[in-house]
Every structure is written in structure tokens, then in C-alpha cells.
Amino acid sequence: MEKLNGGVTSQPAAAERTAQSAQAHVGQWLDQLNVALHSANQASVASLFAPDGHWRDLFAFTWSITPCQGPDAIAALMVEKQLTVKARGFAIAEGRTPPRRVQRAGVDVIEGIFQYETAIGRGFGVVRLLASDPAKAFQLMTNLHELKGFEEKIGQRRPTGEAYSRNFGGTNWKEQRIASERYDDREPTALVVGGGQAGLTVAATLGHLGVDTLVIDRLPRVGDCWRTRYHSLALHNPTDFNHLPYMPFPPNWPVYLPKDMLADWFEAYAMAMELNFWTSTELVSGNYDDTSGLWSVVVRNTANGSERTVRPKHLIFANGLVGEPSIPDLPGLKDFKGDLMHTGAFSNGAHWRGKKALVLGTGSSGHDIAQDLHANGVEATLIQRGPSMVLSINPSAKLTYAIYDGVPLEDGDLLVTVNTLPVLKRTLKTMTERMVEFDRKLIDGLIARGFKWYDGEDHLGHNMLIRTRYGGYNLDAGCSQLIVNGEVGLLQFEDIERFAPGGALMKDGSLRPADLIVLGTGFQPQLAVVKKLLGETIAKKIGPVWGLGADGEMNNMWKRTPQKGLWFVGGSFSNCRIFSRLVALQIKAIEEGLLEK
């Protein structure tokens, strides 16, 4: 034993022993899991979990996103599925972050990333053992990573390229790409509606698994979903956590990506991933034939109005979780004589320099637009309709990604998928408390100005608001301080009697004049889009899209829905990067007969 300073054990030596101990505990627990599953002994499996134990399976055992709580329930489900899954070879993952002692959800744990295989695939997972009793797991997550015999065509499995790089006397790569995108002689296996981060990532992953995929987007260029948004927009979360699969952003790119830089990257990504992509193309309608197992989808070219019917096996909605702008029928709004627009149509405030503007809504877009107007010499006032959470981009919002500290992105992507809802709530409550501490001065300043601030439903912060409402918060880029300073005005909607030709008529009889009203009132829910395009029958059949289901998981997201062949992907860049693989694996498994539709 190394001793320094009068017999005190050196820190490196102590850290090494802690690491060795963590490695031993995780390895021993995984060995016991191997034995328990091989014997299909429920009691043995149950004995490996703490009384408050949790298991979250991502398509490895259950072909769904399945949370489970309690030793007996976990053991019963795991042993039942093991009959066909035949999971084995649980061992500490090679080349990944080694086991370590950390704190998760207020619990001291020994956390380890492991690998294993099943009858049809290979996976990675995470186990968190109680530091006080390392024989018991507090949390377990199992994640399907690849299908045996159908691995991604990357690295050493990449195509040789001989068919087009040295195809003497034949077509070259460019000509073959053009022909592939036309779909003159075939139908796509999967049709992806929407060419943002969700559509690009799922199409790229499907392509690497050999699933013929077509992406459509109603806008003229790849990346226009970001390119056409308001002038000052940049991402509100750091670049390090927004990488797309297979092709990370350059290391010299800024911490917060400007929209146009991101849009141009999308265009380059679609080319590099060899995605079949029809721009200026919108989905008009779709019907599913149970007999053939095919969709009959009508798409329209928005440039010339021509239509075509496409017959894919899988229809994937990747259109951003929302539909058309939501325009509320507010008293007197139709009488307003100035300029009226939704945030989706706003570019920048230069046109209204020297004038007055009202921005209805206190989400991130509303705040950003009010700040842009102010910067362009416009007298801007925010109108608040209900309580909102405001938190700083730095440091508060960055706490969301603290779990990635000190580990590679691919390991962090595993660690963030471990929590079932009960554990997630404990984590978010603690995180939100820290955010409030960081932002206390700003929060107090806003409240003093009359801003209705809150810390989310059940004090769970903006991360739960994202899951339940997909809104109701502002990742602040500076507008909040302008409100505190009195440079951007603030009104409460409840103090407005009605809108009038010249602005907002207040209940006290005064008029707040305006030349411009911008509506930051959100968008229609995804289900409204489904109803419009696929009909009411399918909309009723699938139910809500996004929001928490009865099991605590997201409704109809990233997994098979009640409607065969219909999928939904979306969310943050990290959501898309993590779950695009899992959606693609399900579709590939269906196509290869490994999974029922």
C-alpha cells in the first residue's frame, strides 16, 4: 500500500482501489444474473434487486420501452421473456466507461456499463448497484444495440463501392444516386415525413441497416425547417450533446449552433448519408391496407402541384411532434389593424424599427422574438397567459447534461436512458432545486416585475414540461434581464379586456398601442395532424402522441403503435440520436421476420 505524509494513503492509490472494487462488484453481480437467467429461477433473479429496484427495457427483452418496478415484478417479467430472448454473456462492456461509484437520484450507487447477447441480437446496458449493498441493484437498463447478421453497414462492413466508383462503361455514383431518388422502378420500404433532425437520423440509421427509405419535406431545401425560422435563432443547448449519428459536428463549431449553420449541415448530412430525399413534397393523405400490409400514401409536389401515390410498408411521422400554428380566437384579435403573425412566420424586427409590438406567449420563442424586436429598436412587450418557468441557458439548463460529464457521448446516451418515471421525478426535482438556486436573483427580479414564474408541475422543472406539454418554459438568452430592467414590457393577459384595431384594450380602459402582434401560441398537437392526413379512425385508434402514458413512458413514441406500420419519432437532438437506432432496429426486425408487425 502506498503511503505518503506520515502514513496517509495517497489519493491515486485510494481511487484505484475504489475503481477495482467497483469493477469487482459489477462483475460479480453480472455473473449472478447470468446464472439466475440460465436457470430461469424467479427467486434468484428477484434476489438481485433492491426492494425499490427498477428495470427499464429498451427492446431487448420486450420489443418495447418497458418499465418495471419491484424485485418480484422484475423477476417475473424477465424470466417470462427469457424463454425466447435467451439473454446471456452479461459482462462488463469492453472499451466503455469502467464501473465507478456515483450518486443517482440521491442514492449512492456503483454504476457499470455492460454488454450481453440474445438469441437474435447484441446489446448494452447499465446497472446501478447500491453502494451500501452491492449485491442488490437499484436500477437496471437493457438496450438492444444490433441484430445478428443484420449489423449496420459501417466501418469494416462498409460497402466496397466497386459498383459505382470503378463501374467502367456503366453509371457512376452520382447517376445512381439520382436514379435511386426517383423511385421509378420500386417503392420505398419506409416513408419518412419530415426532414429535420428526427427524419434525418432515422433515415440514416435505416439506410445503414439496408432498409430502403425515402424522406419527404414540404420545404424547398434540406435544412429549411431551421433555415426559415427567425433571424436570431440559435440552439439553446450545447453543440456537444446535439451530434447526429455517424457524423458529429466539427470540433471548432460554436457552443450554440446558429440556425443557418445547422441547416447547411443538414444538407451536407443528407448527401453524406446518401439519403433519398424529396424536397417540396408534402403528405396529402394515407390509407393502410391490412391485407397487403402496405400504405397507399398520396404526396404532392408543392412547386408544381403534381401528385404521386407511394406504397411503403412503414410510414414514419418525423415532423416535429406538432402541426400547423395554433391561432387562438381571442376577443377582438380579428379587429386588429396592424401586422399580425405567428412566431413561425416571424423573421426579424428590422421592419418595425421605431414602432410598438406585443408578443403573446412567454416560451423561448416568444422571449427570443421580443429580444430581437428590442434589439431592432422596437418597443416590445410580452403578454403572459399563464405561469412559465424561466431558467438560464448557462448554468441552469446545462445541468440537464451533467450525466455526460467525463464520459464519451455514446456512454452518456446509455446513462440517460436508465430512469423509469419514479426515479426520473426524484432526479428532476433535485435538479430543479439546483436550477432555482443558480437563478434566484433573476427569478426574484422577474417576480418583482409581475412575471408569473413557477418551477413546473410538481416542482419538476422544464424537463418534465417538455414531456407533458412540450412547452411552458423559456431557456433564457437574455430577454428576462431586459424585462427585469424594464427594457422589455410585460402584461398579463388577464388584464386585457380585448384586442382592438390599435392594440390591446386593458380592463382599466387604457389602450396599449401596437403596430405588430406576434402570436407565440404554439402549434396544433400531432394527433390533429394524424386526423387530418390519415383520418379520424386511425387517430382514435392510436390515441395521444407524446405526453406521458399510464406506464410513465411517452405515448406512441419510438415504438410500434396500435396502427400497424405507423411510427412517430421526434424530440430533442439527443432523443433523435438515441432512439433513431431503436426505431430502425424494430423496422429491420419486422422486415427480416424477427418481429411481428
Residues of the chain with pLDDT under 50: 1-9
State how far the alpha carbon of 282 is from the alpha carbons of 285, 289, 364, 387, 393, in Å. Answer: 9, 21, 28, 36, 35
Do 378 and 356 contact (CB within 8 A), yes or no?
yes
CA distance 499 to 512: 9
CA distance 235 to 232: 10
Strand duo 511-513 + 100-104: pairing: unpaired
Do 525 and 322 contact (CB within 8 A), yes or no?
yes
CA distance 58 to 101: 24
Q: Say what the pLDDT of residue 1 is.
A: 36
Do 56 and 78 contact (CB within 8 A), yes or no?
no
SS3 8: strand
**Dihedral sign from CA coordinates of 141, 82, 145, 97:** positive
Question: What residues have CB less than 8 Å from 496, skipping those under 6 apart?
Answer: 383, 504, 505, 506, 507
**pTM recorded for the entire structure:** 0.95
Q: Say what the pLDDT of residue 162 is.
A: 67
Q: Cell numbers 450481453 label which residue? A: 116
CA distance 433 to 389: 13
Q: Say what the pLDDT of residue 477 is.
A: 94
Can you spell out the DSSP letters for 408-436?
-HHHHHHHTT---HHHHHHHHHHHHHHHH
Q: Say what the pLDDT of residue 8 is.
A: 46
Q: Say what the pLDDT of residue 325 is.
A: 87
**Domains and their CATH numbers in the chain:** 3-147 (3.10.450.50), 173-323+526-591 (3.50.50.60), 327-521 (3.50.50.60)
SS3 56: strand
Do 349 and 375 contact (CB within 8 A), yes or no?
yes
Q: Say what the pLDDT of residue 4 is.
A: 43
Q: Say what the pLDDT of residue 319 is.
A: 87
Q: Cell numbers 421580443 label which residue? A: 370
* Amino acid type, 501: P
Q: Say what the pLDDT of residue 567 is.
A: 98
